[in-house]
Structure 1
Amino acid sequence: MTDTIPDHYDLLVRGGTVIDGTRSPRFGADVGVRDGRIVAIGDLSAGTAARTIEAAGRIVAPGFIDSHTHDDGAVLADPQMICKISQGVTTVVTGNCGISIAPLDPDTPRPMPLTLLAAEGPPAPPAFRHFADYMAALRQAPASVNVAPMVGHTTLRVTTMARLDRAATPAEIAAQQDLLTEALEAGAIGISTGTYYPPAAMASMAEVIEVCRPLTGSGAVYVTHMRDEAEGCVDSLNETFEIGRALEVPVVISHHKLHREANFGKSAVTLPLIRAAMACQCVALDCYPYNASSTMLHTEEAKLQGRVRIATSGSHPEQAGRDLADIAAEWGLGLVEAAERLQPASAIYFSMDEGDVRAILAFDETMIGSDGLPIGEKPHPRLWGTFPRVLGHYSRDLGLFPLETAVWKMSGLTAKNFGIARRGTIAVGNHADIVVFDAATVRDTATYDTPCEPAQGVDAVIVNGVLTWWQGAHSGAREGRVLSRGI
């Protein structure tokens, strides 16, 4: 609430039920916006406004923060970002899984998974030699969403090493440290690693710690797609915690999951381990609300267990949307040989247990991140459906947690963990990132067969005080900002 009530607003959201992103109980209030900020919350019936949104019967919540995206190139190539804004997402955290499009020389060969950052698909996303150049490009051509960028450790390796199938030399580690320092000075909110992937797998824990030394004392975060999310998950968690302790920085476990049937149910082991670590150091985690993952198409037999569906293929685009097993049988090949023929490619892996998904989602401190890949016509539906799926399917329909908790996992919690200031909650003085939705009807409509479908029940999305999504259509506004640490 506010003591001083202005009498005129640029935008007035009137008559709604506010869920403020703090997990506090909902309350009825009007929300007044002026100059891109929330300036009043309460009974504003005496005020006037340039535009009024009638929100009776609707939830008024903070704009959602997607904690895990690969939108690095998409925010430049497709700045309307309908796949996100239509869900109520107003901020995307980029540079995850060790991959970012800066600092990267445009002429440097880009191995998978770097090519997954291309907004229009393989083979190559845009690239920027300096992280500051990427930040400048974002500011010069704003997207419809705010961007909180990280720098990728794999990108640092690719930029500084002639060969990736070995450990980095002391000189290469020093070069990566210099690039990380430059990125932090340019405003990167942290670094991510993806030691699961071949370009970074040869980097030992000691090497990662040394490369990341500039994080210490910077206020930035260490985010990781861990080395192993299957049989070695516990070892990978312990490695993550040790890196955080060595650097004295907050760590974020990306898209926590347990791959392959032999590991189903192990969230009963990993979640208490994470809880224990949280008592001793700053640890956070995110997940997406699906039991299928999506990334590059692997060519190792162990990673092709279970059902694998092709999302994109640079060499055989006509195979997108088909199962790898069916393609292999049609071609008279084994799975590995068929996967090699489809390269460069991405895929969807149906390799997780729904019970684990629900347990991880319900874990109190789990943030929500889509991990969507904005490439091709058959992406994983999480690109379009993550946030309404949590609100509708998991919160409302299954009762996994109250709506106040769902909103907090998508907003206030994420803003706190990534150091995003004055966003993530409905509060006077905060930037006016707001979503208005119908709690009774909000749901995801994106499926594996038709993945590029907008949510239902999201009425309005406001970014920095400007109405950007209204009743199923984009307004054309591109008011997103680049968010650095504390900004």
Structure 2
Amino acid sequence: MHFDLLIINGTVYDGTGAPGTQSDVGITGKRVTDIGDLSAATSSRVIDATGLAVTPGFIDAHSHADAALLRDGQHACGIRQGVTTEIIAPDGLTLAPLSRENYLMYMHYLSGILGYASEDLDMSTYATAMSNYHNKTSCNVALFLGHGPVRLEAVGGMIDEPLTGENWTRAERIIRESFEQGACGFSTGLSYYPNSFSDTDELVNIMNVVKEYERPLSIHLRNHNVERGFAGGGVEEAMEIGRRSGAQIHLEHYRTQPDSAGDLESILEPVERAKSDGVDVTLETYPYPVGSSFPQSFFPSWFHEGGPESMLELLADGESLERVISGIVSGSRGSATGNMWSHIGSEKNKHLEGMLFDDVAAEWGVSVEEMMCRVMLEEDLNCGFRGAPPASVRVWQQVEADIMELMQRPDYMVGSDAIPTGGMVHPRAYGCFPRMIGRLRRRHNIPLELMVQRLTQNAALRFGLKDRGEINEGKFADIVVFDPDRITDRATFEDPEQYPEGIPFVVVNGQVAVDHERLTGVLAGEAV
């Protein structure tokens, strides 16, 4: 028997949660074709995995690499972690399906999170958008249908109008077309726009359609326009959407925060209550105490109407700026203090990357809110931030302990929420998966087979990634080979662009993408 690639002498964890077994894995073309004792076989390439774990490739259930993958298909920060499939377009924030005019406008609006891709790409349908990734990236790419593009196309721009009448007719057409072309779920982020112009009824209507395709709602919980959300938004709104529509619900980055560390019961109670009502709920998390975003998330609803050009006009006008700042201060969207600039588009202000908002504001002699507005104006919105980790090590350790307790639930998976744009990115962009399955798994004594299942099969099942997330005959050969005792993240908040250790080989669709911890340059990733 001859294979194209043979992985020998490793301990195979198949992704189902079963304990590892000593086996060889034979690969022909894109798929696994045999597992067992293959010592008599020949192969064009042999990887000796003695002392190493052989697992399905990791699946990132929440990645903002939409434009990063288009800028550089190698995507080293992801593939070096063992991520063989990136699910992009979470939070409803993505670049397709959009007309050319809306594509350029929304890319401008989202530049603080996504950065920029080529202006010449065809993003007019789900299918054409996916063609921009197929066999052009080191990893596979799955794409949510985002709430943002649906609203922009249905109502004709960044406009606060309900999805009713002709607007709904256009929205439903886009939704059905995109799911018929393979969308892996519908995503919304109710801290962002135009998503937050919606109310709960709108999301129920959308999910009444999406459930026909047996795909979930992936939701970033509401903290904007809270009066439009059932019970003031948050998790209760998400659960109500599930109750009323019967659709599957997936909660994005759902965990305790530094101010709620140790109180898992409070965050899980509404989830368990909804499950008892028959709602199908899954959840995701990442292993860090703080996240990242872009400044628009602090601004009042009216500020976003009209899109980037209107927003910049408001920031440039002194009288309007006072109203904007007042809207930020009086809003229910949280305080901007304690954050740090992670991405600055211009060379002029590049020195701000890594500086705390409070320190920049003090240096300039203005409030944090005014400083934020000034940077946004000078950067033409192309700026982003990340949270600063808590000063208390004890709080950080408690959040980590909470996260690892959540990961032992069968309904949890991992989404990095990585924003791989900027010079001082959040370390999760380089270290999320090895931190979870390496450092923290060992620290909290969690069985390796359990963690493998959470990082692989769970997301594949939830988002309909056929024949992925498992090592079995006939499945796609997306495989990670790593040292379970040595795998660890090296990315820190101070020095985030550090690749992990202990992951010598990564295989995507039968092709070796990482060879002895080095990129091969192979772009075997597919649109899935």
Match of 1:418 in 2: 463
* Residue 268 of structure 2 is aligned to residue 271 of structure 1: yes
Which one has a larger percent helix, Structure 1 or Structure 2?
A: 2
* Residue 180 of structure 2 is aligned to residue 185 of structure 1: yes
Counterpart CA distance in 2 for 1:335 and 1:156 is 33
Match of 1:395 in 2: 441
Match of 1:143 in 2: 137
Match of 2:202 in 1: 207
Matched AA of 2:444:
L
Match of 1:128 in 2: 123
Worse-matched range after superposition: 306-315 or 446-455? 306-315
Shift of 1:259: 4.8
* 1:64-463 paired onto structure 2 within 5 Å: 64-108=58-102, 109-110=105-106, 114-116=110-112, 118-120=114-116, 128-139=123-134, 141-161=135-155, 162-228=157-223, 236-259=234-257, 261=259, 263-279=260-276, 280-297=278-295, 298-299=298-299, 300-301=328-329, 303-304=334-335, 307-314=338-345, 316-343=349-376, 344=381, 345-350=383-388, 354=396, 355-363=398-406, 364=409, 365-399=411-445, 401-463=446-508
Shift of 1:28: 1.0
CA shift in 2, pair 1:270/1:148, >3 Å: same
CA shift in 2, pair 1:259/1:391, >3 Å: closer
CA contact under 8 A between 2:158 and 2:194: conserved in structure 1?
Answer: no
Shift of 1:245: 3.0
CA contact under 8 A between 1:85 and 1:145: conserved in structure 2?
Answer: yes
Cα deviation 1:176-222 (Å, max 9, x = unaligned):
22111121122111110111224222210001222343213112221
Q: Which runs of 5+ in 1 are unaligned?
A: 1-6
Counterpart CA distance in 1 for 2:130 and 2:158 is 28
Counterpart CA distance in 1 for 2:279 and 2:424 is 40
3-state DSSP class of the match of 1:215? Answer: helix
Cα deviation 1:90-139 (Å, max 9, x = unaligned):
00111100112111223222288633453558x98966122221022223
CA contact under 8 A between 1:101 and 1:117: conserved in structure 2?
Answer: no
Counterpart CA distance in 1 for 2:122 and 2:261 is 39
Q: Count matched residues.
A: 472
Shift of 1:290: 0.3
- TM-score where L is the length of structure 1: 0.91
Shift of 1:379: 1.0
3-state DSSP class of the match of 2:106? Answer: coil
Cα deviation 1:280-339 (Å, max 9, x = unaligned):
222111011100110112353453355211111336333111111110010001111111
Worse-matched range after superposition: 468-477 or 306-315? 306-315
CA contact under 8 A between 2:255 and 2:267: conserved in structure 1?
Answer: no
3-state DSSP class of the match of 1:61? Answer: strand
Cα deviation 1:232-277 (Å, max 9, x = unaligned):
999522211221233322111011134563x444432112332343
Matched AA of 1:277:
A
3-state DSSP class of the match of 2:195? Answer: helix
CA shift in 2, pair 1:124/1:386, >3 Å: farther
Q: Percent identity?
A: 31
Counterpart CA distance in 2 for 1:469 and 1:170 is 51
- TM-score where L is the length of structure 2: 0.84
